[in-house]
Amino acid sequence: MLLGRGRIGRENPYPHFLGDPEAGLYGWPTVWEARPGMRQFQEEIFGPTINLVKVDGIEEAIEVANSTPYGLSSAIYTHHRHWAYLFKVGIRAGMTSVNNTTVGAEAHLPFGGVKASGNGARESGIWVLEEYTYWHAVNEEYSGRLQLAQMDTGYVSPKVPTPWAEVLGF
């Protein structure tokens, strides 16, 4: 732990915390020096934490980032445009930001992760229609005659009209 003071509690209060700290597990903003295999590296922590991982170059950075079982969002800060390109095509995450934060969702873009992050849905934007819509195509024929490839055919004998066909005038 490079920065932080552990769990927020009555004995270890955080000055901006509102509510009962004993009603859940709350932690101080924390910075970790982490590496693959460490618990905080392998788990998806939703809290005010950040892992700093030392790597040797962009290729290793992408490899390390992809080595976790999660992939909700990712970000890279760089002035090196080739690194930004390598990152955005090599990272396995549901959302990627270049020189921008991963905080919040963009309402016009799909939201959701890959691998063990999220539930597989891609919500927000027009994609939300696909997530919450049951598409059902119905093609109904009223002529009372068998059609083949949308063309009447003489390959079948005339069909005896059914009561509904008579009512409709077929």
Residues 6-49: tens digit of each pLDDT = 999 999 999 999 999 999 989 999 999 999 999 999 988 888 89
pTM value?
A: 0.63
Token pair in block for residue 80: 């090196």
Summarize pLDDT for 59-69 with one digit per residue, the tens: 999 999 999 99
Please report the beta strands in 13-143, taking only residues with DSSP state E, as ranges in sequence order.
Answer: 30-33, 49-52, 70-71, 73-76, 95-98, 114-115
Instruction: Give the tokens for residue 51.
Output: 């892992």
Give the residue from 23, 40, 18 showing the smallest Cα distance to 31: 40
CA-CA distance, 27 to 14, in Å (whole number)? 9
Per-residue pLDDT of 91-149, as tens digits, reads 999 889 999 887 666 666 777 778 888 766 677 777 777 777 777 787 777 777 766 66
Domains annotated on the chain, with CATH: 21-132 (3.40.309.10), 140-170 (no CATH)
